[in-house]
Structure 1
């Protein structure tokens, strides 16, 4: 399948697409997919929690999908990936694995070599090459303003927990989210240990597993240019850019995010 690039306006029903697709045989009749639906596994990133997927989960469940929202430990890349591998081992059948932000880095590590994972979905997310860290990728292109908004708490072992200052949270992380909801998100955000962001990846699952990317154009954590770079490198099946979208796109536009995940799920045979 050729790569599709789509551009979605915030809250708009219309989607403008340019596509390069392999010609379909005129005589080919559509085949009904009778295979069991895959389980959708969602991995949140830094400064978020599992409930950040709630709007997406509700839409997927209404379509008959089983969904697991993983509580990402946010302690170290390789430790977090080991935890996700254990979660995946407890699920029967095929999996569509979606990661937001740093959660994409964890998914990339954990899915490598796992035949159960049939599709990867990157939502405002990192898709690292072997050796690359989240910190390196977020600074590969200009545009990230995250650094000055962070609060650091020493953990006594030379590492630090990082969180976004509450008064900076909405503008930095969730500019397109309702003010009251963004305040709740700021209060419930999960901090990330700084070493998790600086650890290099050992594996890159996108080299073997088909990928889909959703890119918020107004992301202030991971510049859109960096996300497009990763999508192009991964030869993504589909790339959707949401104009005006913030880093918290799963909260502000859960329908768009769910649609991308559904597209990936429908590819599973």
Structure 2
């Protein structure tokens, strides 16, 4: 009997694996792995870059050692795109209001190199060993507008810093060119506007619409779980006909 692929979840900027827990709670029967991206954290001196993140994604896929479906949220779409084409047995890449870009693109190339208004950028850090980084401001509105207020406040308190290198470095490969892809559009997203999502989603084989803000794993974990189950089911082999 066939089993569903392992689900590997890749968080976005400033976040950690903690953000996925409400979604994971809705999928107790699945094998789920989470990736902690080195570019996100509290200490600017140790933050990684895009390629470190891609290596972390590739290592997570290798650890599965079998059929895998990758989900990237927001910035997490970038290391997913960089890693998934050559990471192993990746059956599908799912972009959850995520960056779905091409070779040569960077996060900042989407906005013509202009920092978004909800980024607080530190280009000249205080310590000599610190890396340039940015923090989220107005996060309640931009990231968690439709999240239950207490959970939203808890999430804001857990946000870290994000390395500037992770959003300036260019992709060297694009997994969606060779791996089946799905884009989940978050229609009320205040961080990645819907028209920008739709432009990127034009590259995907499948699109799904979700009436949510930027973080449906917190605001609508049950509905997001339902969508992901459907996407995982696409990876099951066709049933074999019984011999005559």
Structure 1 position 189, deviation (Å):
0.8
Alpha-carbon distance in 1 for matches of 2:50, 2:83: 10
Deviations 1:152-203 (A, max 9, x none): 34264684221113xx210111100122211111110122101101111111
SS of 1:87 mapped into structure 2: helix
* 5+ residue gaps, structure 1: 1-33
Q: Which residues of 2 match residues 103-252 of structure 1 at below 5 A?
A: 103-137=76-110, 139=111, 147-153=116-122, 154=125, 156=128, 159-165=131-137, 168-234=138-204, 236-237=205-206, 239-243=207-211, 245-252=212-219
Alpha-carbon distance in 2 for matches of 1:104, 1:207: 14
Alpha-carbon distance in 1 for matches of 2:88, 2:63: 14
Residue 260 (structure 1) aligned to one of 215, 227, 232: 227
Shift in alpha-carbon separation, 1:130–1:89, aligned structure 2, 3 A: same
Aligned residues: 224
Moved more, 100-109 or 156-165: 156-165
Deviations 1:88-121 (A, max 9, x none): 1111210010010111111111111234110111
CA contact (8 A) 2:33 2:60 kept: no
Residue 37 (structure 2) aligned to one of 58, 72, 83: 72
Aligned to 2:75: 102
Moved more, 156-165 or 43-52: 156-165
Q: TM-score, normalised by structure 1?
A: 0.77
SS of 2:14 mapped into structure 1: coil
Give me the CA root mean square deviation. 2.0
Alpha-carbon distance in 2 for matches of 1:194, 1:115: 28
* 5+ residue gaps, structure 2: 40-47, 238-244
CA contact (8 A) 1:124 1:249 kept: no
Alpha-carbon distance in 2 for matches of 1:132, 1:119: 21
Aligned to 2:59: 86
Moved more, 102-111 or 253-262: 253-262
CA contact (8 A) 2:61 2:88 kept: no
CA contact (8 A) 1:56 1:254 kept: yes
Provide runs of 4+ in structure 1 moved above 4 Å. Answer: none
